[in-house]
Every structure is written in C-alpha cells, then in structure tokens.
Amino acid sequence: MAATLKSLVRSGRLVGGTLLVECVTPGIGHILGAAGAEFAFLDMEHSGFEAETVKAGLRFLEAGGVPAFVRVTSRDTHDISRIADIGAEGIIVSLVDNGAVAKAAVDALKYPPLGRRGVGLSLSHDNFRSPPTPAAALQAANDRTVLALMIETAEGVENAEAIASTPGVDLIWVGHFDLSTSLGVAGQFDHPKFRDATTRIAAAARKAGIGLGRLVNSVPEAEQAWRDGFRILAWSGDAWLIRDGLAAGLGGLRSMAERLPQPNG
C-alpha cells in the first residue's frame, strides 16, 4: 500500500518527488513510481492545467501509487476547497504572508471544527464511498489532507512563526525564486539576505514541529537544503527533465558523430 502524503510529510526523512507542469498523461503515475518518486507536485499556478486535467491527473498518479500535492491558482476558498473535493490529498497555497492568510487556508481545506470547508460527501475525495457516519467522514478527511503554505516574500519571512504555528498547517514550502526576488537578490541563493531568510523559515517550521519543503535542481542545491532542514524535496520538473535529458543525449550523439570516422558506403 502506498504511503499517504501526511505520513511522508511527518516522517522526518528525505522524501523525494518532482514537479509536474506539462505531462499529465495516463502513464505518469507509473513513470514517476518506476523512477522512485514518492510524491508529485501538480502545479496549476504556472501551467495550463484546469480542474478537469487535475482531476484526471490525480487518478493517474493514484494508479502509480504516487500521492500528490496540487498548487492551486489562488488563495480563494472556492479554489482550495474545489480542488480538495476532486481528490487532492495535499494542497499548496502560494504567497502566504501572515497568520491571517494561513488561517483562511486552513478554513478552506478543513471541515469543522478545525475549518469551515463546505461539506460534500461521497465524492471524488472519498472515492464515492458512503461514510459510516458524516462525523467520521469529516474527521477522516481532516486527518488525511495535507496543507502546505508557501513563504516566498519578505513579509512572509517576518511572519514565519505565525504562519507555521497555525493549527492545521502541515508543511512550509519555500518558493525560493520568488523569495529571492522579494528580498531584492533575484536568483542569488547564496546571498546573506536569502540565507538568513531561509534560516528563519526553517527555525519556524522546526519550532512548530511541521515539515519543510522546496524544489531543487542540483545535488549541491539539495545538499544545502538538507543542511537547512528541508526533508521534502522536489527534484526539478517534467518539462526541464525532458529537455535536459534529451539535450544531453543528442549532444552525446553529435559528439560521437564528430569523434568517430564516418563508415564508407
């Protein structure tokens, strides 16, 4: 049986996955599973994915035993709760700058008494099963779902403790490019401003006893993230992995053709 997203976030060990911004196909769950990915980050913010694509993608990933986060398009209640209703085990909310925004996200994802999500049972999110009791179904959904909040602005750094300590928050995800840009050091991930911000966010997550995640694109970047306390790491994304893998292969072919003599005939 595949691990749940919540158990992975709470495990305290390295959990590796990848970002999906382009390739949501019937085989994607099995492809990621065969590669050893433990989760997928299905992104609606920087892709053309609509709700129907996400709904299908979640089933494709489920078939391969790969639990998924979905980054929703806004912080609005209807966007968060709708994507949860169609089956997202984890929700990622961008640009969380303070505790009030964090609490609103909890309200949108979690059922009473923890939140204020509108009740819809026997739907995609519970595999259309009839619950033993409504109360049991609401509790099970609250226990199962994972809320990840992105800190990616200077304001978010200042309020990191308030965000991380909000009841119902499971994971802080650092949006490293946006954060560096907000700090005035775009793309300078070794800059003291970015390093200090990362340290503050990591300390807030550790104090709250919740997970910490981010995207990485190289082993040195991953090593630094690991030392900082990140345990949920997305290794690059589908579009870039295809591009870079193909570029490396084609480069090897062309190098081979230049290096070896051309056969006669």
Active site residues: 46
Residue with tokens 């589908």: 238
Rounded Cα gap, residues 149 and 81, in angstroms: 15
Contacts of 213 (CB under 8 A, 6+ apart): 148, 171, 172, 173, 174, 230, 231, 232, 233, 234
The SS3 assignment for 207 reads helix
> Is residue 103 a contact partner of residue 77, using CB atoms and an 8 Å limit?
no
The SS3 assignment for 168 reads coil
56 backbone dihedrals φ, ψ, rounded to 5°: -65, -45
Closest to 100 measured CA to CA, from 64, 149, 54, 137: 149
- What tokens appear for 264 in the block? 């006669």
Closest to 173 measured CA to CA, from 153, 150, 195, 197: 150
Count of positions (residues) in the chain: 265
